[in-house]
Amino acid sequence: MNDGFERVTDWLEAHGHVHKPIALPVAARTAREAADGLGVQLGQIAKSVIFRRVADDAAVLVVTSGDQRVDEHKVSAITGPLGRADAAFVKERSGFSIGGVSPVAHLHRPVTLIDRELFRFDVVWAAAGHPNGVFAVAPQQLAAMTDAPVADVVQSVMSPCTDVCKIDPGSGLCRGCYRMRDEIASWSKIDDHARRALLVVLDTRKREHPGFPPLPA
């Protein structure tokens, strides 16, 4: 492991965090790799995304759920206009390389926002300063550690429709998006939290119904 991993380990110990970082046997540079390596849901990976604030060149750190995509417009509405943070900027400000950026123990303290979607889980896993290093933390603890506000910083959930819905008469499911009629009708009326919960259900249905019989002529 590297100096970044040691710095995160020392920081967590100094702040009384009981869960020490661990080293995975495989690299976890992406949220998907980390989730697979840990055997947890993709959303339980607390991925760190860094932007550069235009006004003062400050680093803006967004700690978001691994199954979400950051909405830069939502972030900039809170922090001010943002620019791209290249690998050199991330390394210089945080002390970490992309793929191992921790939410804590940065060389220069960033402006930080915590994604509210992390609070769907009791425990999440964050990078520990190295592509193979991670540590467990409760979302509430993470917000307290970083002294950062919890905010809506991710893109809205789009409809899973692939075409005009065609209901299978046997299962009652749409052959394209796997929703039932009432779920299709209520989509525009439910919030993003309910939509994400439904998408998890749809993934299960897709596995249970890998193919539909032909529609009657």
Domain parsing of the chain, residue ranges:
3-151, 156-212
- List the one residue out of 51, 56, 108, 48 whose CA is nearest residue 83: 51
Report the pLDDT value the prediction gives residue 160, as an integer from 0 to 100: 86
C-alpha atoms less than 13 angstroms from C-alpha of 94 in its C-beta half-sphere: 35
89 φ, ψ to 5°? -65, -45
Q: Collapse the DSSP code of 38 into the 3-class scheme (helix H, G, I; strand E, B; otherwise coil) and give the result.
A: helix
- Let me know: does 137 contact 145? Beta carbons within 8 Å: yes
- Residue length of the chain: 217
What is the block-wise mean pLDDT of the chain (217 residues), using blocks of 10 residues?
90 95 86 90 94 97 94 96 96 94 96 95 95 95 96 88 86 93 92 86 87 76
Q: How far, rounded to the nearest angstrom, does the alpha carbon of residue 169 sit from its chain's CA centroid?
A: 37
Q: Which residues contact 76 (CB under 8 A, 6 or more apart)?
A: 82
For the record, the structure tokens of 70 come out as: 């950051």
Report the pLDDT value the prediction gives residue 1, as an integer from 0 to 100: 62
3-151 CATH fold: YbaK protein (3.90.960)
Report the pLDDT value the prediction gives residue 217, as an integer from 0 to 100: 60
Centre a 10 Å sphere on the Cβ of residue 142 and count the other Cβ atoms it contains. 22
Q: Largest Cα–Cα distance in the chain?
A: 70
Question: What is the residue whose two structure tokens read 């495989």?
Answer: 26
